[in-house]
Structure 1
């Protein structure tokens, strides 16, 4: 049994990781970018998707705290007068901050007080230190990403309905206590500032933030000969495209990667079985954009592809995706490849009447890098769309040079994470292909 003292929640006592909040505000909760895996390229973004308000009820029955409330009732704590013993699990939100707000109640000034346990840093040794944070009536609590914490525990009433705000992705890691936690709710400690433990970021993330890495990292680049061969487009069909994807509309999502070491939480044991709780539950993001061929500014024998975002995260965006067509050689040139680490990806032309091309490459199983020997170009007939598995590399959709303007619709996982390889910069020039 580990004895725990109570820390009243206020800004002066909590150094990091937890803070009070009177009402939920989307702007105060931080979303995390899609994590970088060691030895892989750094993803861009991944903070798409809204916060989801989930109704959670915890109930004291015969002095046993029940969660979840349902057909199978599992006690996670017991109480005896002022003593509460907690033996439930801890969770750490991986994809964003998380917020807990009890239902509004104005009858009793203390009716909605609650406790939440956190793991803290010791100033003297490695002995596990836990604190029970006392959240007063009228307030909720925000717990930052990667902070392990318990379920909220009502103090002065037998049940509380909580609204829990988290990303719809809802990726968490779960931990078991090595010993139950015992707290006397009257044993207050207001004398010291506590430091709430957060899971450590990986070395690559430290280096990106300007702090020196413990070990030198090798910059990831494509082979110099990656773009050396002229590719030829092949009409896609269910047979020749099956190694790369499917010609159907169906988007799936990938689990949020784990990027921290569970041993950073003394007194807690990581639950490998909690992998099931780290599934991406987010909805699909549907967004439209327009590709336009225009004459090259300096070379009248070439056309340049331009991008106009129409909806979703693309709305209002404009630019050049790095694609050109030479009218003399009939060659298309492509500067970049990209891949989605957070889920599969589906795209089609909105008019269902336009032919378009895409370059594809399979990922290396260890590094995720595009494999040169698997580079292929496919053309997609009017009415066809393409779905790719997570991690497979692809170019932007490229309209046939005879089509001046084509509008596309893509469906992706809502986190909207992306990894880009600049082929033109990293190898000896852009990728090249012909339509036949």
Structure 2
């Protein structure tokens, strides 16, 4: 089954809003095993939207449109879809009631007249309840073609898709599609693909797809079968082989688990507490850790010691170390990790110091970062030379710090 994405909104064309919906929907459609050959963005123009929709319906089985379902005059998606698919608009009483209830529980005293436009739906359409806004989702079917209309705000689109559209599309698939995610840290996408070329070239079912993330590589293994059990059996040997090849580079096989979740899980498992000592990352590492539910069980304290004075005062880094080797050095990173543990009594401390740029420090280049991890009276220090702008260097530092923490726990506690 072929699916096409159409994003509606002049603000998208002008770059005022980043189109995260397309990325999200593309990944979900791939998970369903749907084929996708086109993604289109069109402005709030009736004629152009009509032409885009006609073309999309001509070459695809399902067209998913996002945006343009609001109450204002330039919100045209529903009206154009109804016109193209030969359907008239009629008021849906249930949607009207939901709009009334939505405003009743909001800070607004009155319902603007233009909001009642959102209660008009194409005749015969399947109406999808939107529990996070006033614009319902819609599914229109005609002559074997389907148009799915979703609101533009991600906070409305995602839950609506997960709860109602995903199951709808899943039922229309003739085969069962099952995917398994494997997430790695420690190797680049090209390195990972090179080690998997024999599997990638030698198999058509399951298929293996690689995705490059910041300092991570994600693998999606997808199998098609006539039933769920058969799909699982097809996945098992491939997943096992990949895990054997990459060992501790694999930090999770769960779709929803992030590297910080994997770290917190390991800390809990071994009843360890952690402290962070950060310079160039400015608290990003501790922020990632405390984003995880249950982090309070393992997270002791976080230090942001951006200046040399703070490093001396908070982490007891020697003045002579800073003078001789500099703030960005293996020696300073090591003393930061030691100082973090002694200051808080935590079992583990992860410390980071580096040059995020854009200006280098003497002979030390932008992107030079030292990461240290204290655990069991040992301090392991890694040197990195990251590429990219300031934001990218800091992001890579955070992931590598979490990964060093993860690997240190594994090497000390896993047999």
Q: Shorter-chain TM-score: what band?
A: under 0.3
TM-score, scaled to structure 2: 0.25
More strand by share: 1
TM-score, scaled to structure 1: 0.24
